[in-house]
């Protein structure tokens, strides 16, 4: 009896959080009073885009998830303040379950030759895949590790190289836990580089580049997002004196750390952490960048959502010294993506195209001297937000391969300063 009770409690403790009746609303903010009303919801709602209340301003729109318990009250407030809004997602839980329907229909999947690139894989499957990919391509792929996460998970790096001394490109995916399409794209990118993609022209290639790919940079957060709270964004560290778990790894880098667009509150989704590089995942990447910056031609970090190609700076309202070039390459890349499946990617310096947000991996890497740096926000523009259905993964991969093909091509001959 007692052991049954214990098992019951245990299953309660690990049960996945559900989101029945929660809605994602898009608000159109006409004036400062309306913007303030939304910012004041900080502790009650989950901001999706922008990801922090500080970035919510008059003349912009914002997407946020409202828990079902407070939904009627929030709608009353919006109507009272004459804030124009629409319901972007009717029921978050239903969309969340639909997101993985391909995977569910196919049953449990394994890594290896038959690895399925059109589903969202578990942490264990992704780790097994990194091992298999190396084993199956011993001359092209080398698996190393840049460190371990707070909970002791490995941070693998796949180096793909065909010819020595080709320009080196650093890629990471999955800094933010709930942005599942990002690690899914990193897996596709590896497949494409190894010749297994679906489109064969205009794609990234090992003929004139060496790729260092970190397929899952925040594994603790990813596991937590899969098993406990789908909307989890941060790491899973916890510091003495803090009320909440997790630091936003993309506010934890030494790039105007603790500056604009980041929060001192451990319960915030943009918490910058107790000190710069406090997160082992961040320290591991930062160490790698410090050690290799002189040799790296390009760094691209994948996030979602909103279809934006962001380049420095995001911690200050200034154009990067080679910002014109970065804008030109982004424009060309966006055109290639659009030609694939018709999707529009906007682009610009972070401070303009997104919002001021200090402590990001892109600005840090740029300041270390890597000349071409982008944060790419993948699909979509809010219809599904973080809950992009699996049936869109392959199209996402195809259009991103075209964009990456352009960026690689530009990086190849680029010299700056
Ligand atoms: O806010 C972020 O960290 C990124 N957007 S997301 O919705 N995926 O969270 C944008 C990062 C842009 N770069 C910096 N803020 N440095
Ligand atoms: Zn992100």
Residue nearest to atom 2 of ligand 1 (CA): 250
The runs of H, that is alpha helices, within 67-180 are 71-80, 92-99, 101-106, 123-136
| Cβ-based neighbours of 132, under 8 Å, separated by 6 or more | 111, 112, 113, 115
Instruction: State which ligand 1 atom lies nearest to the alpha carbon of 303.
Output: 8
263 CB within 6 A, ligand 1: no
Confidence of residue 107 (pLDDT cuts 50, 70, 90): low
Instruction: Give me the pLDDT at residue 1, please.
Output: 45
Of ligand 1's atoms, which has the minimum distance to the CA of residue 50? 7
Look at residue 210 and tell me whether its pLDDT is greater than 90.
Answer: yes
pLDDT at 201 exceeding the cut of 70: yes
CB 297 within 8 A of CB 378: no
Report the distance separating Cα 270 and Cα 335, nearest Å.
32
Q: How far is the CA of 350 from the centre of ligand 1 (A)?
A: 8
Other C-beta atoms lying within 10 Å of the C-beta of residue 36 = 15
The pLDDT assigned to 339 comes to 98
Establish whether residue 350 lines the binding site of ligand 1, counting it when its CB lies within 6 angstroms of any ligand atom: yes
SS3 66: strand
Q: Taking ligand 2, which is a single-atom ion, which protein residues have CB atoms under 5 Å away?
A: 176, 179, 303
User: In this structure, what token pair is assigned to residue 362?
Assistant: 């892109």
Mean pLDDT, residues 76-95 taken together: 96
- Residue 16, pLDDT > 60, answer yes
The residue whose CA is least distant from atom 16 of ligand 1 is: 360
Q: What is this structure's pTM?
A: 0.94
Catalytic site residue from 134, 179, 279, 377: 377
- Do residues 66 and 25 touch, judged by C-beta distance below 8 A? yes
pLDDT band at 111 (very low <50, low <70, confident <90, very high): low
Residues 6+ apart with CB under 8 A from 75: 85
8 Å CB contact between 317 and 193: no
Ligand 1 atom closest to Cα of 362?
16
Residue 352: pLDDT band with limits 50, 70, 90 = confident
pLDDT one-digit tens code per residue, 222-275: 999 999 999 999 999 999 999 999 999 999 999 999 999 999 999 999 999 999
Residue 357 CA to ligand 1 centre (angstroms) = 7
Ligand 1 close to Cβ of residue 176 (< 6 A): yes
Q: What percent of the chain has pLDDT over 90?
A: 88
Ligand 1 within 6 A of 375 CB? Answer: yes
Cβ 273 under 6 angstroms from ligand 1: no
Please work out whether the CB of residue 360 comes within 6 Å of at least one atom of ligand 1: yes
| Percent of residues, the chain, with pLDDT higher than 70 | 95
With 90 as the cut, is the pLDDT of residue 183 above it?
A: yes
- Closest ligand to C-alpha of residue 178 is 2
Question: What CA–CA distance (Å, rounded) separates 145 from 312?
Answer: 27
Greater model confidence, 106 or 119:
119
Least confident of 99-108, 252-261, 283-292, 311-320: 99-108
Both tokens of 21, joined, read 């009746």
The pLDDT of residue 12: 47
Chain mean pLDDT for the chain: 94
Q: Using a CB cutoff of 8 Å and minimum separation of 24, what contacts does 280-283 make?
A: 280/147, 280/148, 280/149, 280/150, 281/147, 281/149, 281/150, 281/155, 281/175, 281/217, 281/218, 281/219, 281/235, 281/249, 282/249, 282/252, 282/253, 282/361, 283/147
Burial class (CB in 10 A: 0-12, 13-18, 19+), 135: exposed
Residue 109: the pLDDT is: 57
Query: In this predicted structure, which of 28-37, 47-56, 243-252 has the lowest mean pLDDT?
Result: 47-56
Q: Is the CB of 363 inside a 6 Å radius of any atom of ligand 1?
A: yes
What's the rounded mean pLDDT across residues 1-9?
48
* 377 belongs to the catalytic site: yes
Q: How far apart are the C-alpha atoms of 4 and 8, rounded to whole Å? A: 6
* pLDDT (mean) for 58-78: 96
pLDDT at 113 over 60: no
Flag whether pLDDT at 6 surpasses 60. Answer: no
The mean per-residue pLDDT over the stretch 369-381 comes to 98
Averaged over 375-394, what is the pLDDT? 97
Taking the CA of 256 as reference, the closest ligand is 1
- Inter-residue contact 52 to 89 (CB < 8 Å): no
- Could you tell which of 50, 64, 357, 380 is best to mutate to test the pocket of ligand 1, judged by most ligand atoms within 8 Å of the CB? 357
């Amino acid at each position: 009896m007692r052991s049954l009770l214990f098992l019951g409690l245990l299953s309660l403790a690990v049960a996945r959080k559900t989101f029945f009746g929660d809605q994602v609303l898009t608000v159109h903010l006409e004036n400062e009073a309306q913007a303030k009303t939304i910012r004041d919801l900080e502790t009650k709602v989950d901001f999706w885009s922008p990801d922090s209340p500080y970035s919510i301003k008059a003349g912009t729109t914002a997407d946020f998830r409202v828990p079902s318990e407070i939904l009627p009250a929030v709608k009353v407030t919006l109507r009272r303040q004459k804030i124009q809004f629409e319901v972007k997602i009717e029921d978050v839980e239903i969309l969340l379950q639909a997101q993985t329907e391909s995977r569910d229909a196919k049953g449990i999947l394994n890594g290896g030759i038959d690895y399925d690139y059109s589903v969202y894989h578990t942490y264990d499957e992704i780790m097994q895949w990194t091992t298999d990919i190396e084993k199956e391509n011993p001359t092209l792929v080398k698996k190393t590790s840049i460190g371990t996460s707070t909970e002791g998970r490995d941070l693998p790096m796949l180096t793909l190289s065909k010819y020595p001394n080709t320009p080196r490109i650093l890629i990471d995916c999955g800094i933010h836990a709930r942005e599942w399409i990002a690690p899914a794209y990193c897996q596709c990118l590896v497949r494409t580089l190894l010749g297994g993609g679906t489109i064969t022209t205009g794609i990234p290639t090992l003929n004139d580049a060496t790729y260092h790919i970190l397929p899952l940079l925040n594994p603790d957060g990813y596991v937590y997002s899969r098993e406990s709270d789908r909307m989890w964004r941060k790491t899973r560290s916890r510091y003495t004196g803090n009320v909440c778990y997790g630091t936003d790894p993309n506010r934890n880098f030494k790039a105007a750390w603790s500056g604009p667009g980041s929060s001192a509150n451990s319960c915030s989704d943009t918490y910058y952490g107790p000190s710069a590089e406090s997160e082992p995942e961040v320290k591991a990447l930062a160490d790698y960048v410090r050690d290799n910056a002189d040799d790296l031609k390009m760094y691209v970090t994948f996030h979602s959502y909103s279809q934006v190609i962001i380049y420095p700076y995001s911690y200050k309202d200034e154009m990067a010294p080679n910002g014109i070039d970065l804008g030109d390459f982004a424009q060309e890349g966006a055109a290639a993506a659009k030609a694939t499946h018709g999707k529009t990617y906007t682009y610009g310096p972070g401070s303009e195209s997104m919002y001021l947000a200090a402590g990001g991996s892109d600005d840090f890497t740029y300041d270390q001297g890597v000349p071409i740096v982008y944060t790419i926000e993948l699909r979509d523009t809010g219809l599904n937000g973080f809950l992009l259905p699996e049936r869109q993964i392959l199209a996402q991969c195809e259009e991103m391969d075209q964009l990456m093909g352009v960026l690689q091509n530009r990086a190849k001959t680029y010299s700056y300063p």
